[in-house]
Structure 1
Amino acid sequence: MTPVHDCHKMTKRLLDLLEAANEDRDSQIQDVEELLDQRGDILPNIQPPFTEEEQKLGREIHLMNQEIEQHLQKLSRAVKEDLQEVKVKKKTMSKYANPYEALQTDGVFYDKRN
């Protein structure tokens, strides 16, 4: 198999993985990283001249890459939202644990005579 065929196969697997509704996002991210690394190893081996079939596969790879990019951005936004939610929960829990921690002492009067 040529490197173009291998890259097409890896790209298809990556797109299928991202399109699958996976509740375990950590394992999905790990699998995506592995496939991206494997595909990254194949990319330097792709050298011209290309046959008609390889050019067709290249166009398909390009279209799949656009879809993969959208899925990765969606996944990234979901992770960022979860991190933001955790920060808010952490801040809220610390306020319940120590409610007087954030009190301001603005406007305190000091008597100079004593």
Structure 2
Amino acid sequence: MIRAEMKEWHTLTENMIRLLEIVEEEKRDLVIEQVELSLAKREELQSCIQQPFTEEEIEFGKKLILADQQLNKKLNVYMSAIKKDLSNTQVKKDTMHNYMNPYDKVARDGTYYDTKQ
């Protein structure tokens, strides 16, 4: 018989994998919030999942490990998408600043200043 904590861990992992498939920017904050809550619940469950394990739990544990690896890949992809969006936003911000003030970063070395005025 498989422990309820292990089943709940599996359910939370599967829910997070489905959540991370949502890629719309409007829903990103909601997805992040839900993933954080699920990760907190999984952390609480982790202390309940201790040895000794039955044969059935060992087989189920292998499925849990595969699902966890899949979740880690999805989390990395999601995080890299967020980082990419942040860097694109920074580039747009810098470009807009340079457009508004094009002479802000012009080097002043070698410029002649007339001091006889």
Distance 2:100 2:22 in 1: 37
TM-score of the superposed pair, with normalisation by structure 2: 0.84
1:48 aligns with one of 51, 57, 72: 51
Paired residues of 1:5 and 1:54 also in contact (CA < 8 A): no
Q: How many residues were matched structurally?
A: 113
How much has 1:9 moved relative to structure 2?
Answer: 1.9
Report the CA distance shift for 1:35/1:107 in structure 2 as closer, same or farther (over 3 A).
same
Please state if 1:34 is matched with 2:37.
Answer: yes
In structure 1, stretches of 5+ residues that fail to align are none
How do 1:1-114 and structure 2 match up within 5 A? Answer: 2-18=4-20, 20-23=21-24, 24-109=27-112
SS in 2 for 1:55: helix
Cα deviation code 1:43-101 (max 9, x no counterpart): 01111111222112211110001111110111111011101101111001111221221
Q: Normalization by structure 1: what TM-score?
A: 0.86
Task: Extract unaligned runs of 5+ from structure 2.
Answer: none
Percent identity between the two aligned chains: 37
